[in-house]
Structure 1
């Protein structure tokens, strides 16, 4: 098992065990698609999608105000959309993979559009203690959101290389901390550990795997939370569970999966196995309900994981966007997606 180390200065990508031949790698390689295969994937995603990948009805959203957040008790989580979570710990706020733009895209006139507005705008948010980033894909790293959050955020926590992008965008370098897998830091009263994931990175066709990807362990007093970012299934979940579990709640990706890219996104059955490996009490499925990024009906991730959880007696929580979730005493939530066409 890898040793965990604290970070006081930005480590170098070149010293990372994950970095060689000029880019980052998964311990078990993921498939590299040919130009022809990529063209077929693009055609399928852009021209030949099945019906139902975008909701016709209105996604329920519980609007939030700054006053609501300031009055909320500690250990409260709000799902703002996709993989964007706002977590209140020790009276301060931690924000994962903040995406507030209308599209998860390099441009705002094309690309996957939001199904719903965020429950609260960035300008209404209270000061953010830390922004926690898993990787640099557009549905997790939103340039406009980062720019808007820079002034009100104390620190940005990123995998190796992602922090360099933030500095290039104008974020004060003193606010940016970058991590390799198994490295950790403390922000306020909260301990955070960058843990492995099986994915890839890049924001153009020419910079694939130039930055690292990660999941995160979030620890405060006796509260333990896991945030998966994006990942295919791999043995790392069991290692993370053995080292940091049992978790109170595991936020695990369940969405944008397909048989054509099995190594970088999990099918719901694999999500459930990852949850089991992590040794967690409650499963909160994320990476769904906000953007059209897959080739499945938009409700399928919820429907499939709900059935599997019931079969395996797994405690599943599915809060509405903007609904408060007590991380120490989660509730199941409603099957809200079933009332939306």
Structure 2
């Protein structure tokens, strides 16, 4: 076993004692949720006829600890467009802008107000500073330059989406937190003012100024230790700002809920869809690239924007593969594809030239 994997093994074992479970059976915040199994004290997915069986936890962890990887980490530098506060302030207030920070992290300027989705500015997606997946690139925006945030939105509580370092660093600049059921308790334990936190079940929404945010279904799981799996809910999110609609898939396997989301909340001008960290060992929690394209069609979006790749080594596929596979389908089938460079600003509805920025990188 390599030293890197030995450290990962120690980290996995230590997780058992890190935190106590979040939700308790009968908790009044979740007792009315159709997605909470009161008997088991956990949240559950909807029935999924498309679901493929995943390997057991022992098989998955054994593969991570002892399996071989090739090409999962880039040898060349990931291109980066540096941003500062002046560049952000210069973006027109009468449009909707999406800025790729890396992985699933995005800063959005929605008609003049700033929103954050799953922000991760930390060096690793791990409970430990000495082990766990390390960033391929630095964030394109310094934490000090993050503007006052109208709303910080979380899809679920996994380490690559909920980063304690980032939450603590930004807590004085965030007006409100919009999170799935149970994730609010995570934030309260991180020192966030409970009055700022709003928790949502699927299909619940809130109007924040000119923006309507709706928590929607996803087919995934949650947990930050070996003992609290599915103790909080996971979600995708839909945003309506002006006459435009934006969809963010969060993490999800392919499931019938995408069509339901399209019917109830779409059509969308753009869909930020998960594309990466998939594997034949866990097809029930992440989408293969071909499923990403189908989910994009199901929600009824004009532009497919790929997320959940190019920042962390979380699976066994080569780091470029997710984008290569979707780009090939998009070219063949005429899909309007967005693969922005880290730090690139995409203005919803505006003309742009998409580039395969990764194609010549090793």
Deviation at 1:11, TM superposition (A): 7.3
Query: Is the Cα contact below 8 Å between 1:282 and 1:330 reproduced in 2?
Result: no
- Which residue of structure 2 aligns with residue 172 of structure 1? 193
Give the secondary-structure state (helix, strand or coil) at the position aligned to 1:210: coil
The aligned length equals 330
1:192-271 equivalent positions in 2, closer than 5 A:
192-271=213-292
- Are positions 1:24 and 2:43 aligned together? yes
Which of 144, 148, 163 is residue 142 of structure 1 equivalent to?
163
Alignment partner of 2:172: what SS?
helix
**3-state secondary structure, aligned to 1:15:** coil
Q: What is the CA–CA distance in structure 1 between the aligned matches of 2:60 and 2:208, rounded to whole Å?
A: 41
Q: In the alignment, which residue of structure 2 is the partner of 1:3?
A: none
Tell me how far apart the structure 2 counterparts of residues 210 and 121 of structure 1 sit (CA, whole Å): 33
- Supply the distance in 2 between the matched residues of 1:102 and 1:152 (Cα, whole angstroms): 21
State the Cα deviation string for residues 66-90 of structure 1 (Å, max 9, x = none).
Answer: 1110111231111000000111012
SS at match of 1:275: helix
Q: For 2:194 and 2:111, how far apart are their aligned partners in 1?
A: 25
Contact preservation (8 Å) 1:11, 1:178: no
Change (3 A) 1:11 1:288: farther
The corresponding residue for 1:117 is: 138
Q: For structure 2, list consecutive stretches of 5 or more residues without a partner in the other structure.
A: 1-26
Is the aligned partner of 1:281 residue 2:298? no
CA distance 1:284–1:11, shift in 2 (3 Å): farther
| Aligned residues of 2:250 and 2:273 also touching (Cα < 8 A) | yes
Could you state the TM-score of these two structures normalised by the residue count of structure 1?
0.94
Query: In 2 relative to 1, CA 48–184 (structure 1 residues): closer, same or farther, beyond 3 Å?
Result: same
Could you say what the CA RMSD is over the residues aligned between the two structures, in angstroms?
1.6
Contact 2:80 2:342 in 1 (8 A): yes
- Kindly report which structure 2 residues correspond to 1:1-341, keeping only aligned pairs within 5 A, or say none: 12-20=29-37, 21-28=40-47, 37-73=56-92, 74-341=95-362
SS for the counterpart of 1:248 is: strand
Shift of the alpha carbon at 1:50? 2.6
Alpha-carbon shift at residue 38 of structure 1 (Å):
2.0
d(CA) in 1 for partners of 2:80, 2:284 = 32
- CA separation of 1:231/1:332 partners in 2, compared to 1, >3 Å: closer, same or farther? farther
For the residues of structure 1 that align with 2:139 and 2:28, how far apart are their CA atoms? 34
Change (3 A) 1:284 1:331: same
Structure 2: distance between partners of 1:143 and 1:233: 29
The alpha carbon displacement at 1:108 in A equals 1.5
Q: Give the alignment's TM-score, normalised by structure 2.
A: 0.88
Q: Which runs of 5+ in 1 are unaligned?
A: 1-9
Could you report, residue by residue, the CA deviation over 1:153-210 in whole angstroms, capped at 9, with x for unpaired residues?
A: 0001000000111011110011100000000001121100000000000000100000
**Shift, 1:39, TM fit:** 2.5
Distance 1:31 1:108 in 2: 34
Tell me the CA shift for residue 28 of structure 1: 1.7
* Shift in alpha-carbon separation, 1:33–1:255, aligned structure 2, 3 A: closer
Determine the structure 2 residue equivalent to 1:6: none
Conservation of the 8 A alpha-carbon contact between 1:61 and 1:320:
yes
Contact 1:81 1:290 in 2 (8 A): yes
Structure 2: distance between partners of 1:150 and 1:187: 18
2-structure distance, mates of 1:278, 1:187 = 23
Q: Per the alignment, in what secondary structure is the counterpart of residue 157 of structure 1?
A: strand
